[in-house]
Amino acid sequence: MVEWKSAELVSKISNLPTLPSTISAILYELSNPDSSAVDLAKLIASDQSLAGNVLKVVNSAYYSFQRKISSLTEAIVILGYREIRKIVLSVTAFKFISDVSKNLNRKKLWDHALACAIIANLLTRKLKILEEGCFEAGLLHDIGKVVFDYLDAESFSEVVDETLSKGATLYEIEQKYFGTTHAEVGSLLARQWNLPDRIVKAIQYHHTPDKVEDDFKKIVNIISLANYLSYDFSLGDSISSSAGLIMDISELCKNLSLEYPFDEAFLNSLKDAITIGIEAFTQFEK
């Protein structure tokens, strides 16, 4: 067991795959106020697999359009840039997360990530706030688990075995082996991918929301709560039995001015949305 040092960690992360150039260009275009739906559609269409996957999600029950959307330009105009960014990042994350692994049940990890993203998105509606990046941060909050598995599968296998045998949380055990956590390494990867600071911070502090600076407290508390609820719905990552948060759910709700416990109707709406979302976002072609 060799603890990773800070300098070594940064070096390891720098050797991870970067975002494909097409995805980077699309994300740049999505943030460009002078871009057009036509230009963005051309960029997405340059990657045939991505274009097909985007249209699959657009025409899924997740969006429930009454007629089929047949062109990317139409999809962009109807859904808007925010929704298209969610789908594009989902396709990218799916390719990164869904590779075969003996240490991680990637199907369960993907379902967990989606559940967290969908819950976070619905929490912003319940809160009636426009909090950018919640879906994306929820989707990528556990990407650091894949990073550990990718960079040091042997040590990560020991982490998983010890976590399961002790009934502990992965967050506790990985610090013993690596000297850091999946939250930290996930945030480093997100920064390498040039994702916005709010997404980076949400990934970094989703287990420790009390430690993040004030500017990012809202999104971090939303992701932490969404992570908690996903485990509560039995949609964990296959390794830990709980979310491993240092705060309990009542504190998270208090920070977000949410009444707790939630009413049954809201919980059922979350479960329904998760079921539909998992089906919609798990039909991608690699």
Q: Does residue 179 register a pLDDT over 70?
A: yes
State how many domains the chain has: 1
pLDDT (0 to 100) of residue 130: 81
Residue 101 lies in a domain: yes
Separation CA 281–CA 97 (nearest Å)? 13
CA–chain centroid gap for 169, Å, is 19
Q: Does residue 3 register a pLDDT over 60?
A: no
CB 30 within 8 A of CB 40: yes
Residue 275 lies in a domain: yes
Residue 213 lies in a domain: yes
Residue 286 lies in a domain: no
Residue 2 lies in a domain: no
pLDDT band at 71 (very low <50, low <70, confident <90, very high): very high
Which residue is listed with tokens 């990637």?
106
Tell me the average pLDDT across 168-189: 90
pLDDT (0 to 100) of residue 96: 85
Q: What share of the chain has pLDDT > 90, as a percent? A: 69
Q: Does residue 1 register a pLDDT over 80?
A: no
**Higher-confidence position of 241 and 194:** 194
pLDDT (0 to 100) of residue 9: 67
pLDDT band at 267 (very low <50, low <70, confident <90, very high): very high
Tell me the average pLDDT across 279-285: 88
Separation CA 172–CA 32 (nearest Å)? 40
Residue 63 lies in a domain: yes
pLDDT (0 to 100) of residue 283: 87
SS3 content of the chain, % helix, strand, coil (to 5): 65, 0, 35
CB 141 within 8 A of CB 224: no
pLDDT (0 to 100) of residue 6: 54
pLDDT band at 4 (very low <50, low <70, confident <90, very high): low
What pLDDT, in 10s, does the model give residues 140-178? 999 999 999 988 889 999 999 999 999 888 888 998 888
Q: What are the φ/ψ torsions at residue 21 (nearest 5 degrees)?
A: -60, -35
Which residues are CB-contacts of 165 (< 8 A; sequence separation ≥ 6)?
A: none
Q: What is the DSSP string of 48-117?
A: HHHHHHHHHHHTSTTT--SS----HHHHHHHH-HHHHHHHHHHHHHHHHH-S--SSS-HHHHHHHHHHHH
Mean pLDDT of the chain: 91
Q: What share of the chain has pLDDT > 70, as a percent? A: 96
pLDDT (0 to 100) of residue 101: 85
Which pair of tokens denotes residue 100?
Answer: 């075969």
pLDDT band at 117 (very low <50, low <70, confident <90, very high): very high
pLDDT (0 to 100) of residue 103: 87
pLDDT (0 to 100) of residue 13: 75
What pLDDT, in 10s, does the model give residues 202-242? 999 999 999 999 999 999 999 999 999 999 999 988 888 78
Q: What are the φ/ψ torsions at residue 155 (nearest 5 degrees)?
A: -65, -40
Separation CA 8–CA 12 (nearest Å)? 6
Range of the structural domain that residue 205 is part of: 7-280
Residue 192 lies in a domain: yes
CATH number of the domain encompassing residue 49: 1.10.3210.10
Separation CA 113–CA 255 (nearest Å)? 23
Helices 153-166 and 143-151, packing angle to 10 deg? 120
Residue 205 lies in a domain: yes
